[in-house]
Amino acid sequence: MSGQAVEEVLAVLRERGGRVTVGRRAVVEALVETTGHMRAEDVVTRVQAGHPDVHASTVYRTLESLEEAGLVTHTHVGHGAAVWHLAGDDRLHLACDRCGEVVHIPPGLFDEVEDHLRHSLGFEATLRHIAVPGVCMACSRAAPP
Amino acid sequence: MSGQAVEEVLAVLRERGGRVTVGRRAVVEALVETTGHMRAEDVVTRVQAGHPDVHASTVYRTLESLEEAGLVTHTHVGHGAAVWHLAGDDRLHLACDRCGEVVHIPPGLFDEVEDHLRHSLGFEATLRHIAVPGVCMACSRAAPP
DNA sequence: TTCCGTGCAAACAATTTGCAATAGA
DNA sequence: TCTATTGCAAATTGTTTGCACGGAA
């Protein structure tokens, strides 16, 4: 069924007048196969593991196209890195500053804060676009502050 | 009195065995004079306006040293940029995706969410380390979604 | 046939690093 | 004096771009 998910994404791409190529399929497969949170670089690595002939720039351009088509989104994690995942997968992210782990948490958790910012400041916050940094349980146990 | 703030920071640096130089003083002055939210690059520009002889790498190294000494912190703003400010200046940040404006909001606003994450997941979130992205009031009026 | 996507290599931006010279404490 | 800092230039890292060719529709 993950194969089906891949085809669905590619179908949308095709509908919009885009073309489906080996590289693009490989990028989508990589995103479907992993639970998400892969940095662009990781996508490149994973794609090239199966398709050494697919160039890195193709991966970057594919991610861009997929995002433009609304099929994929990226989330910023701390130090400039971004993680990519299929759209619709609207989980929120926590990123551990120590071990780098990115954890998914259910959506809705920040609704209250977002509402508050909207009402008090007119600011439309999109917390799903970033990973909230901090220290995960495992790391804080390993080395308490 | 901002001059005094500068001396206070430099004094701590000196206490720790560090040395106070023209470049370091200029970096601290830049941070004291502005309300904060300057990217590293902006600090370089501002420092060099008054001291063209201070090299960019010196500014980067100084920011690093100041952070190590706990005198300065940085906050990540969306696409990889980071803004620097004096420690103790613990305001939270919102960053508009459209116009790039960085707005300060009072601390404490995220306490509830942070508590929740701590209790339910054992995750010590530090929302002050990032700017929450979104669209500011002015921009959402200019071009509603 | 069309023209979208691709590989390639070079450009890029922002930051970092190695090293010898300089200048605080 | 002693060694933390600096300037400089070169190396890095991660991503983007221009261009001519190749392949999906």
CATH of residue A103: 3.30.1490.190
- CA-to-CA dists, residue B11 to A29, A56, B8, B25, B73, angstroms: 56, 49, 5, 11, 18
A82 and A43 in a common domain:
yes
Q: Please report the pLDDT score of residue B41 as a whole number.
A: 92
A95 and A111 in a common domain:
yes
* ∠ Cα B88 B64 B95 (to 5°): 60
B114 and B57 in a common domain:
no
B11 and B74 in a common domain:
yes
Q: Please report the pLDDT score of residue B80 as a whole number.
A: 67
Asked whether residue A68, judged by its CB, lies under 7 Å from any atom of the DNA or RNA strand D, the reply is no
3-state secondary structure of B142: helix
Task: Tell me the backbone φ, ψ of residue B64, rounded to 5 degrees.
Answer: -60, -45
Torsion of CA B63, B64, B65, B70, to 10 degrees: 90
- Average pLDDT value for chain A: 89
CB-based contact A78 B76, cutoff 8 Å: yes
Cβ neighbors of A129 (< 8 A, separation 6 or more) are A73, A75, A76, B78, B97, B133
User: Predicted confidence band at A3 (pLDDT cuts at 50, 70, 90)?
Assistant: confident
B112 and B64 in a common domain:
no
- CA-to-CA dists, residue A36 to A29, A40, A103, angstroms: 11, 11, 10
Q: What are the tens digits of pLDDT across the range A63-72?
A: 999 999 999 9
- Average pLDDT value for chain B: 89
Q: What are the tens digits of pLDDT across the range A26-36?
A: 999 999 998 76
* B31 pLDDT above the threshold of 90: yes
Q: Which residue has the higher pLDDT, B96 or A143?
A: B96
% of residues, chain B, pLDDT over 90: 55
% of residues, chain A, pLDDT over 70: 95
- CA-to-CA dists, residue B19 to A2, A37, B3, B11, B64, angstroms: 59, 42, 18, 10, 14
B10 and B62 in a common domain:
yes
A42 and A73 in a common domain:
yes
B87 in reach of chain A (CB within 8 A):
no
B39 in reach of chain A (CB within 8 A):
no
Q: Are A35 and A104 in contact (CB under 8 A)?
A: yes
User: Predicted confidence band at B107 (pLDDT cuts at 50, 70, 90)?
Assistant: confident
User: Predicted confidence band at B123 (pLDDT cuts at 50, 70, 90)?
Assistant: very high
User: Predicted confidence band at A92 (pLDDT cuts at 50, 70, 90)?
Assistant: confident
A53 in reach of chain B (CB within 8 A):
no
Residues of chain B in contact with residue A130, where contact means CB-CB under 8 angstroms, are 78, 130, 132-133
Asked whether residue A48, judged by its CB, lies under 7 Å from any atom of the DNA or RNA strand C, the reply is no
Residues of chain A in contact with residue B116, where contact means CB-CB under 8 angstroms, are 109
Tell me which residue in A110, A121, A126 faces B137 most closely, judged by beta carbons.
A121
Q: Please report the pLDDT score of residue A103 as a whole number.
A: 85
- Measuring alpha carbon to C1', the residue closest to nucleotide C7 is A55
The residue-averaged pLDDT of A130-137 equals 90
Q: Please report the pLDDT score of residue B100 as a whole number.
A: 79
The residue-averaged pLDDT of A18-33 equals 96
- Domain housing B111: 91-141
A129 and A68 in a common domain:
no
- Count the Cβ atoms, other than its own, within 10 Å of residue B89: 15
Residue of chain A with shortest Cα separation from B141: A122
A132 and A75 in a common domain:
no
User: Predicted confidence band at B1 (pLDDT cuts at 50, 70, 90)?
Assistant: low
Asked whether residue A74, judged by its CB, lies under 7 Å from any atom of the DNA or RNA strand C, the reply is no
Nearest nt by C1' to A63 Cα: D15
Distance from residue B58 (CA) to nucleotide D9 (C1'), in Å? 14
CATH of residue A61? 1.10.10.10
Last residue of a domain, one of B86, B106, B131: B86
A100 and A77 in a common domain:
no
Distance from residue A57 (CA) to nucleotide D17 (C1'), in Å? 10
The residue-averaged pLDDT of B39-51 equals 94
Asked whether residue A109, judged by its CB, lies under 7 Å from any atom of the DNA or RNA strand D, the reply is no
From B4's Cα to the closest Cα of chain A, the distance in A is 31
User: How many structural domains does chain A have?
Assistant: 2
Q: Which residue has the higher pLDDT, B14 or B77?
A: B14
A99 and A52 in a common domain:
no
Tell me which residue in B78, B121, B126 faces A133 most closely, judged by beta carbons.
B126
Q: What are the tens digits of pLDDT across the range B51-102?
A: 999 999 999 999 999 999 999 998 888 776 788 988 876 778 898 888 878 8
Q: Please report the pLDDT score of residue B77 as a whole number.
A: 81
* A2 pLDDT above the threshold of 80: no
B125 and B79 in a common domain:
no
Cβ neighbors of A128 (< 8 A, separation 6 or more) are A75, A90, A91, A92, A93, A107, A110
Last residue of a domain, one of B86, B101, B132: B86
Q: Which residue has the higher pLDDT, A99 or A29?
A: A29
Residues of chain A in contact with residue B130, where contact means CB-CB under 8 angstroms, are 78, 130, 132-133
